[in-house]
Amino acid sequence: FAAASADLAQPWTLGQLAERAGYSPTHLNRLCRAHFGRSAMRHLTFLRMEHAGRLLRRERLKIRTVAWRCGYGDEFAFSVAFKRHFGVSPRQMKSQ
Protein backbone atom coordinates (compact mmCIF):
# COMPACT_ATOMS: atom_id res chain seq x y z
CA PHE A 1 0.00 0.00 0.00
CA ALA A 2 3.01 2.30 -0.19
CA ALA A 3 2.05 3.58 -3.65
CA ALA A 4 -1.56 4.15 -2.64
CA SER A 5 -0.54 5.85 0.62
CA ALA A 6 1.76 8.17 -1.29
CA ASP A 7 -1.04 9.22 -3.66
CA LEU A 8 -4.39 8.93 -1.90
CA ALA A 9 -5.98 11.34 -4.39
CA GLN A 10 -5.58 8.70 -7.12
CA PRO A 11 -8.82 6.77 -7.81
CA TRP A 12 -7.21 3.38 -7.15
CA THR A 13 -8.93 0.18 -8.21
CA LEU A 14 -8.37 -3.23 -6.68
CA GLY A 15 -6.70 -4.30 -9.92
CA GLN A 16 -4.23 -1.40 -9.78
CA LEU A 17 -3.38 -2.05 -6.14
CA ALA A 18 -2.86 -5.75 -6.82
CA GLU A 19 -0.69 -5.04 -9.86
CA ARG A 20 1.50 -2.64 -7.87
CA ALA A 21 1.87 -5.23 -5.10
CA GLY A 22 2.59 -8.03 -7.54
CA TYR A 23 -0.41 -10.15 -6.54
CA SER A 24 -3.73 -11.13 -8.03
CA PRO A 25 -6.69 -9.13 -6.69
CA THR A 26 -7.95 -12.23 -4.87
CA HIS A 27 -4.61 -12.87 -3.20
CA LEU A 28 -4.21 -9.21 -2.23
CA ASN A 29 -7.64 -9.27 -0.58
CA ARG A 30 -6.72 -12.49 1.23
CA LEU A 31 -3.49 -10.92 2.52
CA CYS A 32 -5.27 -7.74 3.61
CA ARG A 33 -7.95 -9.67 5.46
CA ALA A 34 -5.28 -11.69 7.26
CA HIS A 35 -3.11 -8.68 8.12
CA PHE A 36 -5.60 -5.82 8.58
CA GLY A 37 -8.89 -7.64 9.12
CA ARG A 38 -10.51 -5.97 6.11
CA SER A 39 -10.47 -6.12 2.31
CA ALA A 40 -7.93 -4.17 0.28
CA MET A 41 -10.46 -1.51 -0.73
CA ARG A 42 -11.74 -1.14 2.82
CA HIS A 43 -8.15 -0.72 3.97
CA LEU A 44 -7.63 1.95 1.32
CA THR A 45 -10.73 3.74 2.62
CA PHE A 46 -9.33 3.44 6.15
CA LEU A 47 -6.04 5.04 5.02
CA ARG A 48 -7.92 7.81 3.22
CA MET A 49 -10.11 8.58 6.23
CA GLU A 50 -7.17 8.65 8.65
CA HIS A 51 -5.36 11.04 6.29
CA ALA A 52 -8.50 13.18 6.02
CA GLY A 53 -8.77 13.35 9.80
CA ARG A 54 -5.16 14.52 10.06
CA LEU A 55 -5.68 17.15 7.35
CA LEU A 56 -8.83 18.51 8.99
CA ARG A 57 -7.18 18.71 12.41
CA ARG A 58 -3.86 20.20 11.28
CA GLU A 59 -4.52 22.22 8.12
CA ARG A 60 -6.81 25.10 7.29
CA LEU A 61 -8.32 23.48 4.21
CA LYS A 62 -11.82 23.47 2.84
CA ILE A 63 -13.65 20.18 3.21
CA ARG A 64 -13.91 19.80 -0.57
CA THR A 65 -10.10 20.17 -0.82
CA VAL A 66 -9.58 17.47 1.80
CA ALA A 67 -12.08 15.26 -0.03
CA TRP A 68 -10.18 15.72 -3.30
CA ARG A 69 -6.80 15.04 -1.64
CA CYS A 70 -8.22 11.79 -0.27
CA GLY A 71 -9.56 10.50 -3.58
CA TYR A 72 -13.16 11.73 -3.42
CA GLY A 73 -14.49 13.83 -6.27
CA ASP A 74 -17.83 14.17 -4.49
CA GLU A 75 -17.88 16.07 -1.19
CA PHE A 76 -21.13 14.38 -0.11
CA ALA A 77 -19.73 10.86 -0.62
CA PHE A 78 -16.63 11.92 1.31
CA SER A 79 -18.73 13.29 4.18
CA VAL A 80 -20.78 10.08 4.40
CA ALA A 81 -17.63 7.91 4.45
CA PHE A 82 -15.96 10.25 6.96
CA LYS A 83 -18.91 10.17 9.36
CA ARG A 84 -19.11 6.38 9.07
CA HIS A 85 -15.40 6.17 9.96
CA PHE A 86 -15.15 8.76 12.76
CA GLY A 87 -18.73 9.10 13.99
CA VAL A 88 -18.65 12.86 13.40
CA SER A 89 -18.94 14.96 10.26
CA PRO A 90 -15.88 16.55 8.64
CA ARG A 91 -17.18 19.95 9.73
CA GLN A 92 -17.42 18.78 13.36
CA MET A 93 -13.90 17.34 13.20
CA LYS A 94 -12.59 20.57 11.71
CA SER A 95 -14.09 22.67 14.50
CA GLN A 96 -12.67 20.51 17.31
CA diameter of the chain = 42
Residue 71's Cβ-count burial label (10 Å; 0-12, 13-18, 19+) is: buried
pLDDT in tens, 11-69: 999 999 999 999 999 999 999 999 999 999 999 999 999 999 999 999 989 999 999 99
Between CA 88 and CA 25 the distance in angstroms is 32
**Which CATH architecture does the domain made up of 2-95 adopt?**
Orthogonal Bundle (1.10)
Q: What are the phi and psi torsion angles at 37 (to 5°)?
A: 80, 20
Instruction: Tell whether pTM > 0.85.
Output: yes
pLDDT band at 1 (very low <50, low <70, confident <90, very high): confident
